[in-house]
């Protein structure tokens, strides 16, 4: 999977620009049930934030709709990481402007990462929006909407050092009712030179574990069977109890979440290599329901480029971390991010990225060529001096190698047995179901009597470069073949 975005994690390109929607009854405080329409772009944090926004709006009388023409409020949750995303948002805003012409009084708002950087252009120069709301200001939406309805512009792009939305129960927009994302922290302190996130989402702050566990428990009680703990850098999660001074780190939180129920799968995203500890790895190995999958972005395989990127580790250190993961969890799958053509990258340094991929044996990767973003450290300090055609050629070499490794990963799965959480009906046939292995590989199999939201045992019979194919087996056969205790 690839595009030119070096910081978006866990993107499902098919969901970019999705109009989030859920049948819901708004907590209507007025005499009219107003409707909102929301599109989301970028990383999973943005999609999760849209669910927080939906909850806040529901409390003041709004319900969601898929039809923007019937909406009273149109929102677009934005990503400022890449130029392509900004261009897409601008095009959508012009579409929304035509809706306003047809239905006077309709409000249009920009949420998220573009809010701070482009607020003046969007409000004053291009006059495309009525609301500009940063990622830490969603609680203020009702007030900002009221301000816009009175004819003024509603603006709040303040970045908070405290806001975690810990007491807001997100509306699960577009959910399959099986898997859910739970945000455990916000912001980032890492200051990677290529990345704009610290400037658009602010400093790191961790949500209190009690609210996280309460949300995960509620999801489990409502039938969800998988949660993904979400943050820009989940491994740096740390919370100190103000009363007892007791500290809880990410490894503790991971175990506490796993202990809610052995039937609740736990995933997490995204990890920074410098922060993933042996304690995290040991807890992953100890609990069967903590999925054996780690997204561990390397960005480059060359120590000089890593130093320019301010990644705080070098090639040898990263390789040792990879070896440690496989030592503790031989069955763990590792994925990554790679950037081709960063400032000053030589051909030899590019070759180091290819070689570290082979050493790490990534199951999949998000692959990009470098795209300079305004106001980042790299923009201020380094020249973006690699020609576009060279960037694209290097990226194609990275993609080709990853495709080969992904193909080989899937080939080795033939004949193996997996416990699958069934998530959905297959896109290709309503007679097939699909779900993921602990290692995050999608498996398709004949549905027979299987039910979405339950676990199934599958033997892998075939594969493509992206998907495994198998058939259902009974639990006894699975336990026998995997040598697991009954």
Indicate the annotated binding residues for [4Fe-4S] cluster: 43, 79, 113, 188, 192, 195
User: Using omega within 30 degrees of 0 as the cis cutoff, is the peptide bond preceding 383 cis?
Assistant: no
Q: Report the alpha-carbon distance of residue 135 to residue 77 in Å, rounded.
A: 9
Question: Across the strands, what pairs with 180?
Answer: 227
Q: Report the alpha-carbon distance of residue 155 to residue 183 in Å, rounded.
A: 24
Question: Could you give the angle at which helices 347-360 and 315-328 cross, rounded to 10 degrees?
Answer: 10
Computed over its alpha carbons, how large is the radius of gyration of the chain?
23
Q: Which residues are annotated as a binding site?
A: 43, 79, 113, 188, 192, 195
One-character DSSP codes across 343-381: TT--HHHHHHHHHHHHHHT-SEEEEEE----TTSHHHHH
Q: What is the 3-state secondary structure (H, E, C) of 389-428?
A: HHHHHHHHHHHHHHHHHHHHHHHCCCCCEEEEEEEEECCC
Q: Report the alpha-carbon distance of residue 361 to residue 336 in Å, rounded.
A: 10
Q: Report the alpha-carbon distance of residue 246 to residue 372 in Å, rounded.
A: 42
Q: 275: how many CB neighbours lie within 10 A of its CB?
A: 17
282: part of which helix (H) or strand (E)?
helix 278-286
Q: Report the alpha-carbon distance of residue 255 to residue 277 in Å, rounded.
A: 14
Q: Report the alpha-carbon distance of residue 268 to residue 271 in Å, rounded.
A: 8
Q: Are strands 247-249 and 238-240 parallel, antiparallel or unpaired?
A: antiparallel
Q: How far apart are the first and last CA of the chain?
A: 38
């Amino acid at each position: 999977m690839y595009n030119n975005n070096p910081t978006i994690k866990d993107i499902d390109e098919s969901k970019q620009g999705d109009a989030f929607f859920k049948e819901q009854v708004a907590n209507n405080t007025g005499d009219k049930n107003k409707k909102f329409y929301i599109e989301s772009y970028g990383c999973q944090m943005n999609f999760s934030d849209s669910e927080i926004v939906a909850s806040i709006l529901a409390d003041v009388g709004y319900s969601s709709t898929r039809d923007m023409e019937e909406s009273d409020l149109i929102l677009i949750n934005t990503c400022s990481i890449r130029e392509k995303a900004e261009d897409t948002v601008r095009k959508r805003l012009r579409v929304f402007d035509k809706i306003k012409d047809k239905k006077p009084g309709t409000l249009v708002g920009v949420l998220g990462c573009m809010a701070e950087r482009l607020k003046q252009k969007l409000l004053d120069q291009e006059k495309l929006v009525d609301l500009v709301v940063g990622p830490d200001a969603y609680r203020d939406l009702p007030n900002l909407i009221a301000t816009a309805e009175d004819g003024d512009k509603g603006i709040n792009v303040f970045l908070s050092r405290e806001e975690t939305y810990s007491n807001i129960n997100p509306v699960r927009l577009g959910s399959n009712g099986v898997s859910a994302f739970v945000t455990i922290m916000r912001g980032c302190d890492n200051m990677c030179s290529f990345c704009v996130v610290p400037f658009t989402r602010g400093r790191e702050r961790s949500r209190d574990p009690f609210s996280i566990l309460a949300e995960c428990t509620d999801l489990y009680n409502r039938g969800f069977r998988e949660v993904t703990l979400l943050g820009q850098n989940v491994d740096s999660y740390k919370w100190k109890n103000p009363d007892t001074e007791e500290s809880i780190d990410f490894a503790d939180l991971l175990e506490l979440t796993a202990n809610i129920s052995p039937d609740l799968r736990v995933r997490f995203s995204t990890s920074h290599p410098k922060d993933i500890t042996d304690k995290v790895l040991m807890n992953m190995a100890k609990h069967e329901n903590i999925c054996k999958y780690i997204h561990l972005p390397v960005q480059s395989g060359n120590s000089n480029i890593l130093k320019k990127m301010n990644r705080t580790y070098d090639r040898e250190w990263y390789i040792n971390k990879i070896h440690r993961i496989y030592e503790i969890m031989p069955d763990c799958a590792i994925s990554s991010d790679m950037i081709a053509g960063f400032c000053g990258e030589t051909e030899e340094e590019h070759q180091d990225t290819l070689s570290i991929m082979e050493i790490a044996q990534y199951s999949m990767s998000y692959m990009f060529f470098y795209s300079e973003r305004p106001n980042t450290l790299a923009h201020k300090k380094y020249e973006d001096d690699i020609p576009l055609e060279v960037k694209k050629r290097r990226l194609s070499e990275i993609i080709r190698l990853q495709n080969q490794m992904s193909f080989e990963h899937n080939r080795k799965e033939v004949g193996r047995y997996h416990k699958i959480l069934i998530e959905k009906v297959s896109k290709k046939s309503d007679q097939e179901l699909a779900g993921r292995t602990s290692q995050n590989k999608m498996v398709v199999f004949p549905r027979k009597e299987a039910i979405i939201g339950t676990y199934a045992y599958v033997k892998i019979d075939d594969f493509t470069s992206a998907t495994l194919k198998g058939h259902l087996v009974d639990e006894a056969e699975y336990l026998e073949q995997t040598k697991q205790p009954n």
